[in-house]
Amino acid sequence: MQCKEKMETYLREHQVPFQEQQHARSFSATTIAESEHISSKKFAKTVILMVDGQLMCFVVPATYSVDLETVRAITGAQDVRLAHEAEFKQAFPDCEVGTMPPFGNLYGIPVYVDKSLSAEDSITFPVGTYTDTMSMNYADFEQLVHPHIAIFARAHL
């Protein structure tokens, strides 16, 4: 089962409403947000980090980046770095690299969400391809994923 179908099934099983969108093939979260006419603050970008040897998902708005020093502080970890593609590719076998949804729980990976994203009423995110996204209420996302919410991202100017 591909990521998109996995997400559709999971959300339907939990009776959570969602919308699906398609856009031209894109590798940039900000470009996708623009093409879908949504605020980049509502586009959830998943960044995979290696935290003391364990993969973790850090979810931030499209125009934000993860502050590794802050992640080190909030997790109490010694070693925090961006995960290499080879390290996380197998963890998300049904997704094209870089298009992971913020549902690390479906892949056995802890999820952290930046507080700025948790303030949004809805979020949009990739679902395993460079052309597909889903949107849903943030409250439903939080109820399904139970992410750690913290301040660990910084906005790009």
Q: How far apart are CA 118 and CA 141, in angstroms?
A: 10
The one-letter code for the residue type at 94 is D
The whole-angstrom separation of Cα 115 and Cα 74 is 13
pLDDT tens digits for 107-141? 999 999 999 999 999 999 999 888 889 999 999 99
pLDDT band at 32 (very low <50, low <70, confident <90, very high): low
pLDDT for res 105: 95
Residue pLDDT, tens place only, 60-71: 998 999 999 999
In this prediction, residue 7 carries a pLDDT of 93
**DSSP codes of every residue in the chain:** --HHHHHHHHHHHTT---EEEE-S--S-HHHHHHHTT--TTTBEEEEEEEETTEEEEEEEETTEEE-HHHHHHHHT-S-EEEPPHHHHTTTSTTS-TT---S-GGGGT--EEEEHHHHTSSEEEEE-SSSSEEEEEEHHHHHHHH--EEE--EEE--
Domain formed by 3-155, architecture: Alpha-Beta Complex (3.90)
Answer yes or no: is pLDDT of 24 > 70: no
Give tens-digit pLDDT for 71-82. Answer: 999 999 999 999
Percent above pLDDT 70 for the chain? 90
- The strand pairing partners of 135, in sequence order, are 19, 124
83 CB contacts (<8 Å, ≥6 apart)?
A: 48, 49, 50, 55
Domain ranges of the chain: 3-155
Average pLDDT, rounded, for the chain: 90
